[in-house]
């Protein structure tokens, strides 16, 4: 096992989903489980489909990673770029999502159910009760085996924190995309919980749910107890679409009107919020909720003023905006998207805007991501996203006048809010002080992020801070 951990420790820092860039992982094996080789036909093949759960104890707090692998005879391996290493002579480990044995075994687990078992852990397939997603022609159900041929599987490029596999062909009619969570946590992932509930309630504003994989494994902090959590989620795949960021960026760069599409996006957002409020418990915010939010605003602002000195002249005005937000009644707390921006929405021809990725902020503990929150936090996130479109165009297209680009953003923001208010019935005028504070807090966070990672972009949040604190 030490040789396996050594191979993983050398390979993980080169992966986009690994959070500890710039250092060597300090790994401890927590558990493993195996899935049947889907191509064995009842006989041995010498191929092993295994998943490792390893804790990286070099991070604080430690991070638990899911690493699916396929072990094959080295002489038969031709997987350039996806080889993890050879912990034993004659055997090579391949990154599972890039090997057909794992991808097909995963699809069968998600769509048919069953279990993968091993040392200290169990992975359980949980097919959705929804046989065909809304708006998708029935073709034997979602992900139902329609023949003996395996699905054609392709790994999506560019993801930061997970690995997604798109399935087309006999095993996936219509197409399916399955997200494998690389960092795993105790508890049901809200990506699965919220989107499955919305899809099974008939929402056309999210992809249809296909199924998921749940797991049980030893608690890394207390080997005497076990925990349950989410390992993967499969949903309807919508091909030939663009995310809202690219659609909006193209419109802003060309100077095209975006008002109708922004209004429609506000409507879709409101529909999802109204549905979530009906599907899950809501509650009135208590004094401790308001106090905790105000404390978080102040804590973030104090950090920002130190790291971004340009914010210091605005501190008093920012605090005044926060104070006004505490003087108005707050709406009920409910389940929300949690990490909402233009990159989390796609435009589907003939269907409109469809919302994705209900995981919440990946760096927050799962217990925080599933708490009821202010729906206006999602609204504020989208408003900031429109500002970023304008800022990106301003940086990339110096030929465009700054006034015209900012006017595009203002029109998009107003249309989004109009669509949201009309579809939700929320009086945004009465809640404007709270919405301003949430958006301003987001801009303060962005100023910290940009100063650390993209200093040339810091003008985008700084301009928003000046605008919102002066309003």
Nearest to 241 by CA among 345, 335, 376: 345
Q: What integer pLDDT is reported at residue 400 of this predicted model?
A: 82
Strand order in the sheet with 63-73: 83-88, 91-95, 63-73, 48-56, 27-35, 114-117, 122-127, 209-219, 222-236, 172-181, 162-169, 152-155
**DSSP strand pairing (114-117 vs 83-88):** unpaired
149: confidence class by pLDDT, cuts 50, 70, 90:
low
Q: What is the mean pLDDT of residues 340-369?
A: 91
More confident residue, 368 or 249: 249
User: From its phi and psi, is residue 267 left (phi > 0), alpha (psi between -120 and 50) or beta?
Assistant: alpha
pLDDT value at 427 more than 70 = yes
- Of 26 and 148, more confident: 26
- Mean pLDDT on 7-17: 94
Across residues 412-423, what is the average pLDDT?
Answer: 98
If you write DSSP's letter for every residue of 91-108 in order, what string do you get? EEEEEGGGSHHHHHHHHH
The listed CATH number (3.90.1200.10, 3.20.20.450, 1.10.1370.10, 3.20.190.10) that belongs to domain 242-470: 3.90.1200.10
Res. 61 pLDDT band, cuts 50 70 90: confident
**pLDDT band (50, 70, 90) for residue 42:** low
Task: Give strand pairing partners of 217.
Answer: 227
Query: Is pLDDT of 197 > 90?
Result: yes
- Per-residue pLDDT at 144 exceeds 50: no
78-92, 99-113, 175-189, 285-299 — which is least confidently predicted?
A: 78-92
First-to-final CA distance of the chain: 61
Among candidate residues 424, 423, 448, 421, the one with its CA nearest the CA of residue 432: 421
Domain with CATH 3.90.1200.10 in the chain: 242-470
* Band (142; pLDDT cuts 50, 70, 90): very low
* Single pTM value for the model: 0.89
Joined together, the tokens standing for residue 441 give: 């807090």
- Token digits for 170? 């006999």
d(CA 177, CA 466): 42
Six-digit token pair at 397?
Answer: 């297209």
Q: What is the mean pLDDT of residues 369-397?
A: 94
What does the pLDDT read at residue 136? 38
Pairwise CA distance, residues 11 & 425, whole Å = 51
For tokens 């558990």, name the residue: 31
pLDDT for 354: 98
User: Using H for helix, E for strand and C for coil, what is the string for 328-363?
Assistant: CCCCCEECCCCCCCHHHEEEECCCEEEECCCCCCCC
pLDDT at residue 294 greater than cutoff 80: yes
Question: pLDDT-derived band of residue 445, with 50, 70 and 90 as boundaries?
Answer: very high
Mean pLDDT, the chain, rounded, equals 91
pLDDT at 138 over 50: no
| The pLDDT of residue 317 is above 80 | yes
Task: Tell me the two tokens of residue 207.
Answer: 């992809």
Model confidence at 133: pLDDT above 70 = no
pLDDT digits (tens, 9 = 90+) for 74-127: 988 876 679 999 999 999 999 999 999 999 999 999 999 999 999 889 999 999
Of the pLDDT bands very low, low, confident and very high (cuts 50, 70, 90), residue 19 is confident
Rounded percentage of the chain residues whose pLDDT exceeds 90? 80
% of the chain with per-residue pLDDT over 70: 93
Beta carbons within 10 angstroms of residue 310's beta carbon:
15
Write out pLDDT tens, residues 223-243.
889 999 999 999 999 998 999
Long-range contacts of the stretch 291-296 (C-beta < 8 A, 24+): 294/322, 294/326, 296/441
Confidence bin at 170 (pLDDT 50/70/90): low
**CA gap 250, 256 in Å, rounded:** 8
Tell me, what's the pLDDT at 79?
64
Give the whole-angstrom CA distance, residue 391 versus residue 393: 5
- The C-alpha atoms of residue 145 and residue 462 are separated, in whole angstroms, by 53
Across 432-448, average pLDDT: 97
């Amino acid at each position: 096992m030490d040789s396996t951990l050594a191979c993983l420790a050398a390979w993980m820092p080169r992966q986009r989903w690994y959070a500890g860039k710039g250092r060597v992982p300090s790994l401890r094996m927590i558990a493993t489980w195996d899935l049947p080789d889907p191509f064995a036909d009842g006989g041995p093949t010498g191929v092993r489909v295994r998943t490792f759960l390893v804790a990286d104890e070099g991070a604080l707090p430690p991070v638990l990673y899911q690493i699916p692998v396929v072990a094959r005879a080295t002489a038969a391996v031709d997987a350039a770029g996806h080889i993890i290493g050879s912990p034993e002579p004659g055997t090579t480990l391949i990154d599972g999502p890039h090997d057909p044995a794992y991808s097909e075994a995963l699809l069968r687990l998600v769509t048919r159910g069953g279990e993968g078992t091993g040392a200290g852990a169990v992975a359980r397939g949980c097919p959705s009760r929804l046989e065909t997603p809304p708006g998708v022609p029935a073709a034997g159900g979602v992900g139902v085996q329609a023949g003996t041929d395996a699905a054609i599987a392709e790994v999506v490029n560019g993801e930061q924190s997970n690995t997604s596999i798109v399935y087309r062909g006999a095993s996936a009619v219509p197409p399916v995309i399955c997200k494998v969570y690389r960092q795993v946590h105790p508890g049901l992932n809200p990506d699965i919980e919220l989107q499955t509930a919305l899809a099974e309630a008939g929402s056309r504003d999210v992809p249809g749910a296909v199924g998921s994989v749940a797991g049980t494994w030893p608690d890394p902090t207390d080997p005497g107890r076990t925990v349950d959590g989410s390992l993967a989620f499969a949903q309807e795949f919508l091909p030939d679409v663009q995310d809202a960021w690219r659609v909006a960026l193209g419109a802003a760069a060309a100077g095209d009107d975006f008002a109708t599409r922004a209004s429609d996006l506000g409507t879709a957002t409101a529909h999802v919020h109204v549905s979530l409020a009906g599907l899950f418990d809501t509650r009135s915010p208590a004094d401790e909720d308001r106090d905790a939010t105000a404390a978080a605003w102040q804590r973030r602002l104090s950090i920002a003023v130190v790291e971004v000195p340009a914010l210091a002249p605005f501190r008093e005005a920012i605090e005044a905006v926060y104070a006004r937000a505490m003087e108005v009644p707050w709406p009920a707390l409910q389940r929300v998207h949690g990490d909402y921006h233009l990159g989390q929405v796609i435009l589907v021809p003939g269907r409109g805007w469809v919302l994705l990725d209900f995981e919440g902020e990946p760096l927050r503990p799962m217990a925080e991501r599933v708490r009821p929150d202010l729906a206006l936090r999602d609204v504020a996130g989208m408003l900031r996203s429109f500002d970023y479109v304008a800022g990106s165009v301003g940086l990339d297209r110096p030929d465009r006048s700054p006034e015209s680009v900012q006017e595009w953003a203002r029109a998009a923001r107003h249309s989004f809010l109009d669509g949201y208010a009309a579809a939700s019935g929320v009086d945004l005028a009465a809640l404007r002080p709270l919405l301003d504070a949430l958006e301003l807090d987001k801009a303060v966070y962005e100023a910290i992020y940009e100063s650390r990672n993209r200093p040339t972009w810091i003008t985008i949040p700084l301009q928003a801070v000046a605008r919102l604190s002066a309003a």
